[in-house]
Amino acid sequence: MWQKTMIVVALVVLCAGCMTAQDRRAADEAKCRSYGFTRKNDAFAECLQRIDLDRRAELRSASAFDPWERPVIYRPVIIRPRPK
């Protein structure tokens, strides 16, 4: 019984962090309104654009290629003696 409860709790916690595109847009608009911008003007649109650009920059930096973090591939070199 407690195992089912733990599974349900885990699923709820995982889904709590999920945001749809509409949820994200609403949160971004709320953030811009909290800064004092009003809808349907250039400053509000610029605020939304900056939030989107910041989000994209964070994604790019998180997925940036780091050559030191890749796995090391070991390939043995087999040297066979030449026949005489």
Indicate the pTM of the whole model.
0.57
Domains of the chain, by residue range, sit at 33-63
pLDDT for the residue numbered 32: 96
- The C-alpha atoms of residue 73 and residue 47 are separated, in whole angstroms, by 46
- Closest residue by Cα to residue 47 from 65, 32, 30, 26: 32
pLDDT in tens, 31-79: 999 999 999 999 999 999 999 999 998 888 776 666 666 666 778 888 8
